[in-house]
């Protein structure tokens, strides 16, 4: 849903991206710095609960925005690379683990339902990009879906910040369960995309099956 705003966001970040490139900052550096900031904000603030939830969300949001600059910088500077794509995808998983893991930690002894919802949201959310990556590895574009990473982050962080400002914890619990459901639907959508491709081209699917049999370690 929010992924449709990427072209607009990219246009907004062109000026700061050009400025950083002129200073000699590499996009991969921004990826690492952004992730490190998100991890710090999540692990330092969120487990404290209370108003620290709000301030943690503010810190995380700042560094998430910083991390978003890397793609714009790579395109403008002609610095796109396989290493950059690998770092971006891998460190996104690190950031997600820190955010939702810290939420689970924060409510572990306060509200076990919220803690469980955060862990489920993290687990199912991790399958979403994995399904896309595996689909792309066999030549299928399975991007999109009802709840991409940006959707889950924006909604989840907003709910967490509002609880830090006094909103009842139940709102966060419900939000996390809904996000878990939407993530599961997204996984289903991506599986359906691959299944449809296999149905349309049985020969392609049969060849791939033989390849998998030759490589059982995958």
Q: Which two tokens stand for residue 218?
A: 């995958």
- Classify residue 65 as exposed, middle or buried by CB count within 10 Å of its CB (0-12, 13-18, 19+): middle
Q: How do the residues of the chain divide into helix, strand and coil, expressed in percent and rounded to 5?
A: 85, 0, 15
**Are the C-beta atoms of 27 and 85 separated by less than 8 Å?**
no
Residues annotated as catalytic (active site), given as ranges: 92
**Are the C-beta atoms of 128 and 148 separated by less than 8 Å?**
yes
The string of DSSP letters for 63-125 reads HHHHHHHHHHHHHHHT---HHHHHHHHHHHHHHHHHHHHHHHHHTTTT-HHHHHHHHHHHHHH
State the angle between helix axes of 82-106 and 52-77 in degrees (0 to 180), rounded to the nearest 10. 170
């Amino acid at each position: 849903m929010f992924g449709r705003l990427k072209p607009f966001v990219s246009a907004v970040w062109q000026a700061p991206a050009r400025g950083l490139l002129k200073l000699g900052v590499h996009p991969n550096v921004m990826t690492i710095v952004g992730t490190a900031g998100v991890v710090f904000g999540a692990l330092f603030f969120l487990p404290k609960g209370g108003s620290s939830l709000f301030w943690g969300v503010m810190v995380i949001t700042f560094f998430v925005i910083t991390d978003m600059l890397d793609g714009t910088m790579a395109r403008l500077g002609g610095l796109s690379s396989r290493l950059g794509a690998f770092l971006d995808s891998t460190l996104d998983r690190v950031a997600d683990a820190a955010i939702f893991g810290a939420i689970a930690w924060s409510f572990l002894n306060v509200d076990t339902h919220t803690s469980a919802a955060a862990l489920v949201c993290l687990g199912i959310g991790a399958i979403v990009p994995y399904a896309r990556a595996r689909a792309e590895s066999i030549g299928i574009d399975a991007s999109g879906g009802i709840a991409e990473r940006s959707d889950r982050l924006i909604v989840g962080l907003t709910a967490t910040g509002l609880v830090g400002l006094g909103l009842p914890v139940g709102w966060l619990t419900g939000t996390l369960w809904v996000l878990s459901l939407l993530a599961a639907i997204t996984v289903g959508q991506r599986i359906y995309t691959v299944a449809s491709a296999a149905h349309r081209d049985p020969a392609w699917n049969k060849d791939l099956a033989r390849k998998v049999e030759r490589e059982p370690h995958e």
